Amino acid sequence: MISDKDLLSRQQARQLAQKAKEASHILAGFSQNQIDAVIDAVAAAADSESETLARMACEETTYGKVADKIIKNRFASRDVYRFIRPLKTAGIIDEDKERKIIKVAEPVGVVAAVLPSTNPTSTAIYKVLISLKGRNSIVLSPHPSAKKCICHAAEVMSRAALAAGAPEGSICCMTDVSQEGTQELMQDRNVSIILATGGMGIVRAAYSCGKPAFGVGPGNVPALIERSANIPKAVLDVITGKTFDYGLLCSSEQAIVCETVLKDQVTQELQKNKAYFLNDEEMIALARVVVTPTFGVNPRIVGKPAPYIAAQAGFQVPPDTSVLVAPLKGVGKEYPLSIEKLSPVLAFYDLPDFNSALDTAIKLIRFGGMGHTMSMHSQNDQLIREAGLKVPVFRLVINTPSTHGSVGLTTGLDPAMTLGCGAVGGNITSDNISPMHLVNIKRVAYEIREARQIKYSAEPRQSSADGSLEEKIAGFLTKKGYGLIEAKPEKKTTSEPGLPVPDHPATSAVSLGEHKIYPISPTKGPVEPNLTSKRQANPAVSSEKDVIGPVDFVCEEDVRSALAAKKIIAIHKKTIITPAARDLASNGNVFKKLE
């Protein structure tokens, strides 16, 4: 008999994956009516237990508020259910008569679902519903500190599914939980796809399993308040979002960014809503408690009320304090409270104008929330659209709490508890995850033209009226840093004053008709080819320019920039590397440690 906990967990993972695989074969044969009957029963059962599950989650994890966890559970059992119920996920789901294409839905198979401690039961309900809707079986891997409440949720939903005709093994849940067991589950050959919610470590592990995976990147959500906004509503929205379940959702607001002209009014509205503004000494003390030396979030303050967090930092605030507000002057390692905090702690910034406020919001996102969410409070549609074009997030929610708007509770976004952050956030998608992400689409395509009748003209395509092909190429190369200069036999001539042309052929020049193209210096015009060749001939100089640092601090954006530029970051023994940066750097040779 096996007594080792990790071995037991790994064994159970394999057994449940096999059991779920057998169930998936049966579910794959279900009609739309059959699977919808199962969904109806599971959603109703989860909804009936929403209060019990909320209390269990709070008692077991010590995170959050019971009332708000009830809302999250019902959001999954009601809003998500209402959204997915009409979706076609079985048989022929669409037919394009003009293009003569028929679309047929196929389930992916077995879903491995890794669940967090912050939103345990609501995430379990959500993942079970979207998996079953796609006619997939699911195996839940609970966070160790939320095992009891997640297993109870799985048991409630499994009983309802079986009573509605689902096969045994449609909903499985690990009870022997360990990191090794979770890893075993994700890598098991019977598992088809992974839904991972948790820290960056587990998300990276899911993506490294060699199979499709949907994960979630971290959030560092700024709330940008622009001068045309309804200020009282905007501030109330921020407080509502930040205090919901004590800030446990990764899409909750982490900072207010406003224009200086609004500072006094925003401050007054925050104080009306029981916000407590920190002085310099309190901010230093709070940062030591909230942020770990490696720039992670201290789990002891996650999902706790503001007065409790203040007491842990060594100072007292009124017992009805809603949030702790830290007025900051910058973003980065010198300002620890500018990271994601997963608690009712808000950074606060005021900037001279909208553009500088937007720049600060983008800095916050780049510091630790790429691709996730931003909220904006404004009545100026032009500025809203400008922000939509510039900010590196895939959810910009307007005039609503970001916590509620991002998941589709107060907006028209697809209701979901898993929010993709796209490639910039290291995720496979930027969507709110739905059953359609767990369904493969088969396409039946009829011939619409005979291959033997397809002929193409031998004449080259004519350029458009916008200019000749040569002019277009010249314009493109100019944008890329090259200058177009007419070649002449005279030595040291110029096409424009101050733009010398090399007096001899060079490998760095490119011919274009009667012209030569040379690299352009931003200040001096075309670069002399002999200078370019000298720089390339000196590998020592080149290698030095490929190394950044040594540096004292590295965040995720630093690693992302180094990877894009194919450079190395030099670090030393005391360099602080944020967890997100370390995880991202694990995919490439980024760091060079100095002795």
**Active centre residues (catalytic):** 250
Alpha-helix runs per DSSP H in 416-491: 469-479
Instruction: Please tell me the chain's helix, strand, coil percentages from 3-state DSSP, rounded to the nearest 5.
Output: 45, 20, 35
Amino acid at position 54, single letter = A
**Which of helix, strand or coil describes residue 371?**
strand
Please report the beta strands in 3-46, taking only residues with DSSP state E, as ranges in sequence order: none
Contact 256, 238 (CB under 8 A): yes
224: left (phi over 0), alpha (psi -120 to 50) or beta: beta
10 Å CB burial of residue 78 (0-12, 13-18, 19+) is middle
Cα atoms found within 13 Å of the Cα of residue 418, Cβ hemisphere only? 33
Kindly state the helix (H) or strand (E) to which residue 366 belongs, with its residue range.
Answer: helix 354-368
In sequence order, the 6+-apart residues with CB closer than 8 A to the CB of 17 are 110, 112, 139, 185, 188, 190, 191
424 vs 97: CA distance, rounded Å: 37
| Residues 470, 475, 477, 481, Cα dihedral to 10° | 150
Kindly state the helix (H) or strand (E) to which residue 50 belongs, with its residue range.
Answer: helix 50-61
Contact 26, 83 (CB under 8 A): no
DSSP 284-319: HHHHHHHB-TTS-B-TTTTT--HHHHHHHHT----T
